Amino acid sequence: MNAIIAYVHVLSSVLFLAIMIASFLWIARNNRLRHKELLAHTLKISLIADGILFPLIILIVVTGAFMTKVAHIPPGTPWVNVAYCLFFLVSIIWFTLVLLKIKNLHREIFSSLRLFYGLNILAIMLFFFIIHDALTQQTWFA
Amino acid sequence: MNLFYWINIFHVMSASILLSALIITIFYFTLSTHAAFYTETKKQIKFVAHHLMMPALLFQLISGIALTLLKKYDFGSVWITCSFIAFSVLLFCALTNFLWVKKRSAQRLLILIECFMLAIIFYLMINRP
């Protein structure tokens, strides 16, 4: 049972990061063609992928909490707290990105492109720190 | 922090990049139904394969071997042998998909096999049966 939970946790985490990167690159590349129909299709597919990300967020938190309990990791452990905070930040960024995509759904060119790039890069960096903390069971932030 | 953890972190990151390349390819398949973007789609899929998927596959292979050596795992153990076989199938499917296969249905099937192989590799890595 524990092995299955760990499997689901790792698989959903990697899938979460992969969908974030894929959506980012997909929108960034297609936006260059400056075609209204293409951008609308791109954003629509990306929003469908975001529909997969929402249950993944819940799954990652639930399986993560279960794994810390099974491994007898005390609740106040610095790296666990930092990982929760960073993941909360990533989720907020993801939600902001969804709003940005909805805002641009019927436009020819993606507006607030710098914000979109910045938030995506920040989310990927934060995820890198979460992976670092989870693998080393240490954190740079506490 | 020791070398093992850094290689492990980049092994996981490159797995994400590999999976993201697969997802982008799936995204582009949805676009290929639009006749106006068909040529562009083919161009972009090639770009993703050359600049994202192949480097990620190469990095996965190198870091996987490095991790096995650093952790002194037995190369003959069942889970390592099986994951190398699954990885070889994944590599073969990726190469076949981008270099030779032209039929869209065959490309979709190969991508499905690639995703399945990735899931098997993850299972073997975590459970080490």
- Is B1 close to A136, i.e. CB distance below 8 A? yes
Q: What is the mean pLDDT of residues B63-75?
A: 84
Q: What is the pLDDT of residue B51?
A: 84
Whether A95 and A57 have beta carbons less than 8 Å apart is answered as: no
Question: What average pLDDT does chain B have?
Answer: 83
- Measured between CA atoms, the residue of chain A closest to residue B4 is A136
Nearest CA in chain B to A8: B123
Average pLDDT over residues B22-51: 77
* Separation in Å, CA of A17 to nearest CA in chain B: 6
Distance from A76 to chain B by nearest Cα, in Å? Answer: 23
Residue A20 C-alpha from the chain's centroid: 5
Interface of A with B (CB under 8 A): 3, 6-7, 10-11, 14-15, 17-22, 25-26, 29, 33, 37-38, 41-42, 45-46, 49, 128, 131-132, 135-136, 138
CB contact under 8 A, A21 and B123: no
Q: What is the mean pLDDT of residues B9-27?
A: 87
Is the distance from CB of B11 to CB of B87 less than 8 angstroms?
A: no
- A45 and B27 within 8 Å at the Cβ level: the answer is yes
Amino acid found at B34: H
Q: Give residue A142's pLDDT.
A: 63
- Spatial neighbors of B70 by CB under 8 A, at least 6 apart, are B3, B4, B7
Neighbours of B40 (CB within 10 A): 18
Residue of A nearest to B126 (CA): A7
Which ranges of chain A have pLDDT less than 50?
Answer: none
Q: Is the pLDDT of residue B37 over 90?
A: no
Identify the H or E element spanning A14: helix A2-31
Report the alpha-carbon distance of residue A13 to residue A8 in Å, rounded. Answer: 8
Query: What does R_g of chain A's alpha carbons equal in angstroms?
Result: 17
Which residues in chain B touch residue A90, judged by CB atoms under 8 angstroms apart?
none
Q: Which residue has the higher pLDDT, A120 or B121?
A: A120
pLDDT of B1 > 70? The answer is no
Across B12-39, average pLDDT: 81
Residues in CB range of B39: below 8 A, 6 or more apart: none
B26 near B114, Cβ under 8 Å?
A: no
Find, in chain A, the residue whose alpha carbon is nearest to that of B19. A18
Per-residue pLDDT averaged across B9-36, rounded?
82
- Beta carbons of A22 and B20 less than 8 Å apart: yes
Closest CA to B25 of B6, B4, B43: B43
SS3 labels along A43-104: HHHHHHHHHHHHHHHHHHHHHHHHHHHHCCCCCCCHHHHHHHHHHHHHHHHHHHHHHHHHHC
Q: Could B20 and A45 be called an inter-chain contact, meaning their C-beta atoms sit closer than 8 Å?
A: no
Which of A13-27, B17-31, B83-97 is most confident?
A13-27
Q: Per the confidence metrics, is the pTM higher than 0.90?
A: no
